[in-house]
């Protein structure tokens, strides 16, 4: 094998290896960020269910007092102004933070 052919083969293998590593790392990073986002959404859902002591799938002002940050911004989080924070309103507010 000539020296030039050897160098050309080495360059091709290097490019393939670099591409495989880059795509592998990018895929791993994507999977990790997706898992982290799902975990945090599950954490928010668990927080909501824990605060919803009467199980009506809405937080009253009394229930929101268990979470001071939510109680302070109750009116802003209650998007439809019905006097209760639904799970969807809670999730949207927590996701925005």
Rounded-to-10 torsion of CA 26, 31, 34, 36? -110
Alpha-carbon torsion 66, 63, 96, 26, what sign? positive
Instruction: Give residue 54's domain range.
Output: 3-96
**Distance between CA atoms of residues 57 and 9, nearest Å:** 63
CATH number of the structural domain spanning residue 50: 1.10.238.10
Q: How many domains does the chain have?
A: 1
State pTM to two decimals.
Answer: 0.58
pLDDT tens per residue across span 26-82: 555 544 554 455 457 888 888 889 999 999 999 999 998 888 888 888 999 999 999
């Amino acid at each position: 094998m000539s020296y030039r052919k050897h160098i050309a083969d080495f360059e091709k293998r290097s490019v393939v290896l670099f591409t495989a590593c880059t795509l592998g790392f990018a895929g791993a990073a994507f999977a990790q960020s997706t898992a982290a986002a799902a975990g945090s959404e599950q954490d928010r859902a668990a927080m909501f269910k824990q605060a919803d002591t009467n199980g009506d799938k809405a937080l009253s002002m009394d229930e929101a007092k268990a979470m001071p940050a939510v109680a302070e911004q109750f009116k802003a989080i209650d998007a439809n102004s019905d006097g209760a924070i639904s799970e969807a309103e809670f999730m949207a507010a927590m996701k925005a933070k």
